[in-house]
């Protein structure tokens, strides 16, 4: 097998019932060139959501080479591998996402992506513009170490390689929600799940955490304002859906500014698309608005679910128009929520792995993650790992989901160590 040499590579390293963080760090250092090789392969060969066929095949082949029980085709293209220590203990799940994005890469790398794919019927460039290539490589690295030292473990580990985190193509379902529905957290039942995301604006070597909500729930919505068409020269003959829509947009902003207790947490209501009318001198029959809601607590989410249609309908009625509200529009993710007591329990693992000075209590972000579907079923932690070279100014650090996106290979070693140590320590604490 292509990867058999890894067994010999790691066999000389220390074994003990409870592996020390220094042992894991040493193993991760020796394994790092292979982790980088995996990352470069994934980066050069990205695939879009629900189309990760070759990616899944590559992962499954390697996980089988470790002697694990491997299941493919989970939620269409997902891969799940199980490591059984042969001893009773908890079931720990570790997750990495697999999909790339329809983004043209503009970073000049030897392992740059030139791949093409099809997105909603159109040919598009494909790039790992959010770091999922590193997530897969880090999880494979952790799997290698944990498998080599399984005599030191108790219980089982589920390695979950998830498709379609960025959202399934139009007309399809996918991602963590589908994996959960298909029973990925069952047989055997998972006790805890850990995941991480590399971050292009956090220094290599640092890890960010947060108790409670760390990433927002996301709920797209659509509003259709129905009025009465008329000539633009005679607006009194119309029920103007454009003017009504303008008032709706402004009215929706008062939900966050006047109804949400922002000293506790952020919330966002954004209208991102407005379509209506075809000519300058025709007032149309209807206007369509599409937007997104981001919240960091169930209470805020529930409040906006009630408030948004109430405001839209009241404004429309005041103008003599009618409104149709669809909420959620299609996909909908809950809050990515780090269970506070679990965060307290595992925080020492972060400190011993990265060093106290490199462990940062971060603010929540209004970005969203479907890892939250796993956390709705079992306790879980989601962390951010640094991928920005230390000599790169923050002002020059590229954003995720852009053609300029870049994270450094050196950031992955900490991710491998964290996934490994979180698993070992959780098993040690929950015999």
Nearest residue to 198 (alpha-carbon basis) of 423, 387, 333: 387
Whether 115 contacts 125, CB under 8 Å: yes
Helix, strand, coil percent content, the chain, rounded in steps of 5 = 35, 25, 35
Q: What is the rounded end-to-end Cα distance, in angstroms, of the chain?
A: 34
Provide the strand spans (E) within 120-166: 122-125, 156-162
Calpha distance 242→240 (Å, rounded): 5
Which amino acids are annotated catalytic?
Answer: 99, 165
CA separation (Å) from 326 to 112, 297, 308, 366, 368?
Answer: 40, 21, 10, 21, 20
Whether 388 contacts 395, CB under 8 Å: no
Nearest residue to 126 (alpha-carbon basis) of 314, 403, 348, 431: 403
Q: Is the CA virtual torsion 296, 300, 302, 305 positive or negative?
A: negative
Calpha distance 305→204 (Å, rounded): 39
Calpha distance 369→373 (Å, rounded): 9
Find where tokens 């659509």 sit: 222
- Burial tier of 356 (Cβ tally within 10 Å: 0-12, 13-18, 19+): exposed
Q: Is the CA virtual torsion 126, 131, 135, 138 positive or negative?
A: positive
Whether 270 contacts 368, CB under 8 Å: no
Quote the radius of gyration of the chain (alpha carbons, Å): 24
Nearest residue to 414 (alpha-carbon basis) of 391, 383, 368: 383
């Amino acid at each position: 097998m292509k990867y058999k040499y890894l067994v010999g590579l790691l066999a000389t390293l220390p074994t003990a019932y409870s592996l020390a963080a220094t042992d894991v760090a040493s193993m991760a250092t020796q394994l790092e060139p292979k982790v980088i090789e995996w990352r470069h392969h994934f980066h050069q060969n990205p695939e879009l959501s629900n189309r990760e066929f070759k990616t899944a095949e590559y992962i499954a082949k390697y996980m089988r080479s470790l002697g694990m029980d491997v299941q493919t085709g989970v939620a269409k293209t997902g891969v799940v591998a199980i490591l059984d220590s042969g001893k009773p203990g908890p079931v720990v799940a570790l997750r990495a996402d697999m999909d790339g994005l329809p983004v043209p890469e503009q970073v000049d790398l030897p392992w740059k992506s030139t791949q093409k794919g099809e997105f909603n019927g159109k040919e598009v460039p494909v790039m790992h513009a959010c770091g999922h290539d590193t997530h897969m490589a880090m999880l494979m690295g952790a799997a290698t170490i944990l498998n080599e030292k399984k005599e030191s473990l108790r219980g089982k580990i589920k390695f979950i390689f998830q498709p379609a985190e960025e959202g399934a193509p139009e007309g399809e379902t996918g991602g963590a929600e589908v994996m959960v529905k298909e029973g990925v957290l069952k047989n055997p039942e998972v006790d805890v799940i850990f995941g991480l995301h590399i971050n292009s604006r956090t220094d290599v070597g640092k890890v960010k955490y947060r108790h409670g909500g760390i990433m927002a729930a996301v709920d797209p919505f659509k509003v259709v304002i129905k009025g009465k068409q008329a000539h633009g020269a005679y607006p009194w003959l119309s029920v103007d859906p454009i003017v009504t829509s303008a008032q709706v947009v402004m009215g929706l902003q008062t939900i966050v500014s006047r109804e949400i207790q922002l000293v506790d947490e952020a919330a966002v209501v954004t209208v991102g698309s407005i379509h209506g009318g075809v000519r300058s001198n025709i007032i149309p029959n209807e206007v369509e608005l599409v937007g997104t809601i981001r919240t960091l607590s169930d209470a805020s989410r529930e409040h906006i679910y009630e408030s948004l249609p109430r405001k839209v309908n009241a404004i429309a009625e005041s103008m003599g128009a009618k409104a149709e509200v669809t909420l959620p529009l299609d996909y909908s993710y809950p809050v990515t929520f780090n269970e506070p007591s679990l965060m307290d329990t595992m925080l020492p693992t972060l400190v011993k792995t990265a060093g106290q000075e490199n462990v940062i209590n971060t603010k929540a972000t209004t970005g969203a993650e479907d890892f939250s579907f796993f956390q709705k079923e079992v306790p879980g932690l989601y962390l951010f790992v640094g991928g920005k070279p230390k000599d790169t100014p923050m002002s020059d650090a590229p954003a995720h989901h852009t053609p300029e996106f870049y994270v450094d290979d050196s950031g992955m070693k900490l991710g491998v160590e964290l996934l490994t140590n979180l698993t070992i320590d959780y098993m040690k604490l929950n015999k």
